[in-house]
Amino acid sequence: MASSSIFNPPSSTTALLLRRTRHPIHVGPTSLRFLTSQSAPPSSHLVSFAASATEASVAKVIDGKLVAKQIRDEIAAEVSRMKEAVGVIPGLAVILVGDRKDSATYVRNKKKACESVGINSLEVNLPADTTEEQVLNYISGYNDDPSVHGILVQLPLPSHMNEQNVLNAVRIEKDVDGFHPLNIGRLAMRGREPLFVPCTPKGCIELLHRYGISIKGKRAVVIGRSNIVGMPAALLLQREDATVSVVHSRTSNPEEITRQADIIIAAVGQPNMVRGSWIKPDAVIIDVGINPVDDPSSSRGYKLVGDVCYEEAIKVASAITPVPGGVGPMTIAMLLQNTLTSAKRINSFQ
Amino acid sequence: MASSSIFNPPSSTTALLLRRTRHPIHVGPTSLRFLTSQSAPPSSHLVSFAASATEASVAKVIDGKLVAKQIRDEIAAEVSRMKEAVGVIPGLAVILVGDRKDSATYVRNKKKACESVGINSLEVNLPADTTEEQVLNYISGYNDDPSVHGILVQLPLPSHMNEQNVLNAVRIEKDVDGFHPLNIGRLAMRGREPLFVPCTPKGCIELLHRYGISIKGKRAVVIGRSNIVGMPAALLLQREDATVSVVHSRTSNPEEITRQADIIIAAVGQPNMVRGSWIKPDAVIIDVGINPVDDPSSSRGYKLVGDVCYEEAIKVASAITPVPGGVGPMTIAMLLQNTLTSAKRINSFQ
């Protein structure tokens, strides 16, 4: 999980500015830019600083698309180095059951991402009426296949299958999704190391790392407690010595608690739930939500928004991920990273 | 984890009073009693009510010794019923390596507790220079022994052994300590059920249940994040829909955060760390700490105190566990319960 900042900057100055909640340092005027479209921003915006919120400025935008690209470049270099050194190419097997269009799109994107970094992708598409036993047979085959280092079962599965049974069948050494309870248990325990960390929460923390945002000793609030994002994100933040509170549907005063956070990770699937008034000035916001909302002005008839009201948040926070272009691109990058890690570990290559 | 209140009362009235933080209901004067010695209090104190802290009254004392006794009685009845119905007696194997006096005392107490409820206890005492392989052989034997339903390795082990290796060797179906990462992972995940919940945090939650203290929607603060108490306690509280914050050594403002809690679980091993000023009026306090401090007036030269300053806390809280006589007795009761549960599960007895 350790990673150094690869940007030039985030320099130590940036890190200092991002810590300014405790020790205000005024700089300015600064070159502020933030994403207003899906087009990739110029990388120079990474060196922009957010001035203090009290100066009516806007937050630094955390560019997940750009970070993901840099991570994929790093992975591509490592894949080449490994191939040359030991002749092994990392392999990811993806099992898709049924004909859900969204699942097919996700699988296609994963396949493309693998190709872009030189990871072999094996894909099996099974009809919706496949039996659980047949799926288990495929998993068993990939478990034993030395050219496969990661196995991913695209969810959701058809309702006649027991998801737990299927996921538990994946060998822990190839569980690149990191959802096996043994991985989650190790993630929760001090002094233990999970073999894999779930991709989306790992991507959230990686963004904080790469932007030089310190976590240790900070108040962090995670909104949502799902098995795939909220819960492991809270465990990861705690591993990095944040003081973590988890807010969920049964929380009576989510706004009040969220307002105490230096770092907010929102992963609840409620469009624009977190308003500007929920945010402490200069907080850092990682928005995992990707929610379609009606938008007559769009040719598609909808647009994607996060769990955080971006327009309000950007005026209060010191840094924020956009939607899309924030956490989204990081998930697949982390999947590739987990697959590379697995191939290295299985082949004792460092 | 579900459990009904066995007391007569905690009635619904008690539960109401314990919820009065939001909806003040004034009753009184009430018959207030609290523990001033280690002697078992009369059970009638369980029907006492704490008046509002603003009336300068004291907290209800949560009597772990009495609750543990009632649980042991319930277990004894179940052990008898099982023996009569299917001829199976639950068995707990305890492995003690080395000659630490405190460990020997713990093991002796566990043995006595087993006997008191009719659970078979098998004990093996190995010299400090036993090899890890020899310990693993014993574990392997107990793993295969159908008369053993729970295996407990007394910690700490001598330093030449790898604790993780040894603990991981215990079959998950007999891991009555609940420390296996697979159990912890299932505890963390929604929709999954651990085979066993670690005994001390389970005892904390059981005390809340048996006193009719509702957890759902409450703010809970866990002080300490150890693998054996703090972390699983936080996961348990979250499973019961509390909004949980975990405070630890890196937390910059533990007092401020703790003061927001409706329920405090303190498990940090710092005598009297939590002062009266840390406590929200009418909070419920579960004190896991058992710390020896110098006491010239005691014949032993020391006394045991909790992580919470009892004398101050009792004036602010609505309910509190004493030290000793609070959480302590619950740990062994939960170990017996886990052993019974295991024997029932292995023998498909309900």
Alpha-carbon gap, residue A184 to B189, rounded angstroms = 8
What is the mean predicted confidence (pLDDT) over B61-85? 98
The pLDDT of residue B56: 58
pLDDT band at B124 (very low <50, low <70, confident <90, very high): very high
Residues from chain B that touch A198, judged by Cβ atoms under 8 A, are none
Q: What is the phi/psi pair of residue B348, to 5°?
A: 50, 45
Residue located via tokens 């809280």: B317
Residue A337 has pLDDT above 90, yes or no: yes
Q: Residue A266: helix, strand or coil by DSSP?
A: strand
Alpha-carbon gap, residue A122 to B2, rounded angstroms = 45
Instruction: Delineate the domains of chain B, giving CATH numbers in brackets.
Output: 12-31+46-68+196-327 (3.40.50.720), 87-174+332-343 (3.40.50.10860)
Task: Calculate ∠ Cα B92-B98-B100, nearest 5°.
Answer: 95
Alpha-carbon gap, residue B128 to B159, rounded angstroms = 10
Residue B10 has pLDDT above 80, yes or no: no
What is the mean predicted confidence (pLDDT) over B93-110? 94
For residue A233, give Cα distances in angstroms to A94, A246, B7, B142.
24, 10, 39, 38
Alpha-carbon gap, residue A68 to A337, rounded angstroms = 11
Q: Residue B36: helix, strand or coil by DSSP?
A: coil
Q: How does pLDDT run across B306-344, given as a tens digit for each residue?
A: 999 999 999 999 999 999 999 999 999 999 999 999 999
How crowded is residue A102: how many other Cβ atoms within 10 Å of its Cβ? 9
Q: Residue A152: helix, strand or coil by DSSP?
A: strand
The number of residues in chain B equals 350
Q: Which residue has the higher pLDDT, B260 or A15?
A: B260
Q: Residue A326: helix, strand or coil by DSSP?
A: coil
Q: Which two tokens stand for residue B135?
A: 């310990």
Q: Residue A57: helix, strand or coil by DSSP?
A: coil
Amino acid (one-letter) located at B24:
P
For residue A288, give Cα distances in angstroms to A104, A223, B165.
21, 10, 37
Q: Which of A63, A65, A174, A177 is catalytic?
A: A177
Residues from chain A that touch B257, judged by Cβ atoms under 8 A, are 219, 243
How crowded is residue A161: how many other Cβ atoms within 10 Å of its Cβ? 19
How crowded is residue A296: how many other Cβ atoms within 10 Å of its Cβ? 6
pLDDT band at A57 (very low <50, low <70, confident <90, very high): confident
How crowded is residue B239: how many other Cβ atoms within 10 Å of its Cβ? 20
Q: Taking all residues of chain A, what is their mean pLDDT, rounded to a whole number?
A: 87
pLDDT band at B171 (very low <50, low <70, confident <90, very high): very high
Looking at chain B, the whole-number percentage of residues with pLDDT higher than 90 is 83
| Contact of B342 with B176, CB cutoff 8 Å | yes
The pLDDT of residue A258: 98
Residues from chain A that touch B227, judged by Cβ atoms under 8 A, are 189-191
Q: How does pLDDT run across B248-303, given as a tens digit for each residue?
A: 999 999 999 999 999 999 999 999 999 999 999 999 999 999 999 999 999 999 99
Q: Does B225 touch chain A (CB under 8 A)?
A: yes
Q: Residue B156: helix, strand or coil by DSSP?
A: coil
| Whether A177 is catalytic | yes
Residue located via tokens 């998801």: A163
The pLDDT of residue B57: 75
* Dihedral, CA of residue A122, residue A127, residue A128 and residue A134, to nearest 10: -70
| Whether B111 is catalytic | no
Looking at chain A, the whole-number percentage of residues with pLDDT higher than 70 is 84
Alpha-carbon gap, residue A277 to A257, rounded angstroms = 12
Question: What is A186-238 written as a DSSP string?
Answer: HHHSTT---S---HHHHHHHHHHHHTT---TT-EEEEE---TTTHHHHHHHHH
Q: Which two tokens stand for residue B215?
A: 């957890």
Residue B250 DSSP symbol: T
Q: Which residue has the higher pLDDT, A45 or B330?
A: B330
How near does any CA of chain B get to the CA of A329, in Å? 25
What is the mean predicted confidence (pLDDT) over B72-90? 98
| Whether A175 is catalytic | no
Q: Which residue has the higher pLDDT, A37 or B326?
A: B326
The pLDDT of residue B310: 98
At B115, which helix (H) or strand (E)?
Answer: helix B101-117
Q: Which two tokens stand for residue A226?
A: 């799902």
Q: Which of B60, B154, B175, B282 is catalytic?
A: B154
For residue B171, give Cα distances in angstroms to A127, A319, B167.
38, 47, 9
Residues 230-289 in B contacting A (C-alpha not used; CB under 8 Å): 231, 235, 238, 241, 243-248, 250-252, 257
The pLDDT of residue B43: 41
Alpha-carbon gap, residue B336 to B254, rounded angstroms = 35
Q: How does pLDDT run across A293-316, given as a tens digit for each residue?
A: 999 999 999 999 999 999 999 999
Q: How does pLDDT run across A120-171, given as a tens digit for each residue?
A: 999 999 999 999 999 999 999 999 999 999 999 999 999 999 998 999 999 9
| Contact of B123 with B107, CB cutoff 8 Å | yes
Residue A287 DSSP symbol: E
Alpha-carbon gap, residue A177 to A22, rounded angstroms = 37
| Contact of A335 with A176, CB cutoff 8 Å | yes
Residue located via tokens 């209140």: B5
Q: Which of B12-16, B80-84, B153-157 has the largest mean confidence? A: B80-84
How crowded is residue A255: how many other Cβ atoms within 10 Å of its Cβ? 14
The verdict on a CB contact (< 8 Å) between B180 and A185 is yes
Q: How does pLDDT run across A103-126, given as a tens digit for each residue?
A: 999 999 999 999 999 999 999 999
Q: Which two tokens stand for residue B31?
A: 């018959």
The pLDDT of residue B16: 33
| Contact of B266 with B277, CB cutoff 8 Å | no
Q: Which residue has the higher pLDDT, B3 or A229?
A: A229
Of B50, B73, B51, B77, nearest to B61 by C-alpha is B50
Q: How does pLDDT run across B187-202, given as a tens digit for each residue?
A: 999 999 999 999 999 9
Q: Does B190 touch chain A (CB under 8 A)?
A: yes
- What are the residues facing A302 on neighbouring strands? A294
Which alpha helices (DSSP H) does chain A contain, by range?
12-18, 64-86, 101-117, 132-144, 163-168, 181-188, 199-210, 230-239, 254-258, 310-313, 328-346
- What are the residues facing A320 on neighbouring strands? A61, A285
Closest-CA residue of B relative to A245 is B245
* Cα atoms in the 13 Å half-sphere on the side-chain side of B137: 6
Task: Calculate ∠ Cα A230-A231-A236, nearest 5°.
Answer: 95
Count chain A–chain B contacts defined by CB atoms under 8 A: 99
Residue A8 has pLDDT above 50, yes or no: no
